[in-house]
Every structure is written in C-alpha cells, then in structure tokens.
Amino acid sequence: MCIRDRDCAGLNAVISSVVKAASQKNWEVYGIHNGTDGITEKPHSYEILTVHNFSDSPWPRLSGSYLGSINKGVRLESVDEMSRKFAIGVKELGLDALIVIGGDGSMNIVSNYCRGSMVKMIGIPKTIDNDTPITEFSVGFQSAVEVCTNAIDSLVWTARSHNRAIIMEVMGRDAGHLAMHSALAGQADVCLVPEIPYRIDGVINRLKEIKASGRNYAVIVVSEGIKTEDGSHLSDRKNMVGEAVYGGIGQYLCDQISSRYKEFQTRVTTLGHIQRSGVPVAFDRLLATVFGAKAVELIDQDEDNKMVVWKNGKVAVSYTHLTL
C-alpha cells in the first residue's frame, strides 16, 4: 500500500482499515514509504504493518500520512525509467497487489507502472479538491470543508468589528467544490469558483446590496483556481513537475474591489495548507473505513486496475484511467 500525491485528513484511517481487513485474511501488508519511491529507490523503504500499529494508537484519528507521501513524479525521471525501476522493486519486494491511495493523476501514473510489472492495482481516491472523476467524495474533502467553514465562522466576527469585506481564498485547484461547499455551509455572501466566470462589478453590486440592507460586513469565498476578470491566470508559475502553482487571486480581487468601492475596507485571508490538516471528520473516517475494506475485498476477488468510489450513498467500483 502506498500514498501518492498530497496529503489530506483521513489517510491514516484508510491505512488502518486496509491493515485490519487484510490481517483478517492473514495477508502481509507492506506499507511503502514516500509514495512509490519506497518501491523504486534502493534500498527499498517500507515497513510491515500489522493491527498492532493501529489498534491502540492515535494514528487513525490523526491527519498527515503515517507512510509519508510524494507529489507525483518529483524525481523527474522519464515514465519508462520509473516503470523499469518500479517493476524491479515490485519483484524484489514480492508484491502481489498494490493499493494506491491518491488522486486521479497519481492513479493514472501508477496504473501504467503496474501494467509493466504485472502487479494488480486497486485505487482509493483521496484529495481535498474532490476532483477525482466518478466518485462523489474522496477522502479528505469533507475535513477540508470543515476547516474552511470554521474559518468563515471566525472571519465573520472580525469582519463585523471592523466594517470589512473579508476575502477568503481556499484551495481546490481547478475545481470549485471546496469553495462552494464551505461557502454554502458558512453562509458566505459571495462565492467565486473556476467553473463560473464572474465580473468584479457583480461582486461590488452584492456588497452594495449588503450595505444598503444595514449590514456592515461581508465574507467572500474564492477558489484559488479562478482567473482574473479578463479570463487569464494570475501567474504562470509552475512547480518542479510542471503543474500550475495557484495562490494570490484573493489579493488581486482585494485590490480590484478596494480601488472601485470604498464603503467596506477589504482584507484577504489565504487559508493555505491548514486545509489539508486538522482532525479528520466522521464522514472522511467512514469513507476511509469502507474504502479500505472494499479495496481488500477487490484484491481477494482477483480484481485489477479498479478504484473504489462513493456513488449514490454507498461504496461502488470503477475502473482507474489508463491514459498518460
């Protein structure tokens, strides 16, 4: 079992669930350290996990990743080279099946590695962005919504004290789920998401309405992935694996709004990586438990290249994607 890509709350509950289900079948579970690096690098880095690691331990209740994680192919080697090392590692470790806890990009990558090494792969979706196709929810999303909603609740009071419109920038990449769910739960006044174009004047009109109604404060939730008003991304910064790096759109909006409308002071709060941490909420732990057990069941049924998903209020099974 390995965790690919960024962490989120609920990962350790998934690990614990897999270990419990697998140990009932007397299987040996290798917890691979640092994503697939523990397989591809020498010496291999892993530990054998048993129920004793988790039964009398706080780990299932904590965020972070017991096994560590990596962000995609940070090693910057070609897919062919990584696949070659992966096949060797899988053989040396004697793995029969691999459970990958990751987003859709990671599952794509690892399912391609697995094809070359003949190891069976089952995916468990996790990401605060909730942008993995097919599943309605991925592990970590609801905990992140909780962090954002609590932040709105806190910002309301300071906004009220100072006659301010506070812009809260949340993560989510190109998906607005995190912004939308927390804005609705926290009853924010405005919510801007990447999927829907917006006008600054539209936001200002809403602020004017609020002012006219006699309220002296507002909270605006913006997703990090929204573009500027003219439809371009704020910057073309990329990380070391070529992904767009988001962040800063809240300040852009703040500057735009405060230059055109002065009735509210405008401030920005960028929540940042705190959204990936905090106590995993009950629904994420429920998903973790059910997904972990289902993944083990699928391996037992000799399934390959499948992903567990949450659909219509229950666990279901889908194919992972195979395009790179």
Active site residues: 129
Q: How far is CA 279 from the centre of its chain?
A: 15
Q: Using the rule CB under 6 A, is 169 a contact of ligand F6P?
A: no
Interaction between residue 71 and ligand F6P (CB under 6 A): yes
Among the listed residues 12, 112, 127, 143, the single contact to ligand F6P using CB under 6 A? 127
Q: What distances in angstroms separate CA 207 from CA 139, 144, 163, 219, 296, one per listed residue?
A: 35, 27, 12, 10, 52
User: How big is the CA angle at 315 (ends 300 and 137), to the nearest 5 degrees?
Assistant: 125
316: enclosing H helix or E strand: strand 314-319
List binders of ligand F6P among 296-315 (CB under 6 A).
none
Contact 174, 131 (CB under 8 A): yes
d(CA 315, CA 98): 19
Residues 244-273 that bind ligand F6P (CB under 6 A): 246
Q: Are 99 and 48 in contact (CB under 8 A)?
A: no
Among 10, 123, 172, 292, contact with ligand F6P (rule: CB under 6 A): 172
176 contacts ligand F6P (rule: CB under 6 A): no
Confirm or reject binding of residue 60 to ligand F6P (CB under 6 A): no
- By rule CB under 6 A, what string of x and - marks binding of each residue 196-225 to ligand F6P? ----------------------------x-
CB-nearer residue toward ligand F6P: 86 or 246: 246
The pattern of x and - marking residues 9 through 48 that bind ligand F6P according to CB under 6 A reads: ----------------------------------------
Q: Which residues contact 142 (CB under 8 A, 6 or more apart)?
A: 281, 283, 284
Binding site for ligand F6P (CB under 6 A): 6, 71, 127-129, 171-173, 224, 246, 276
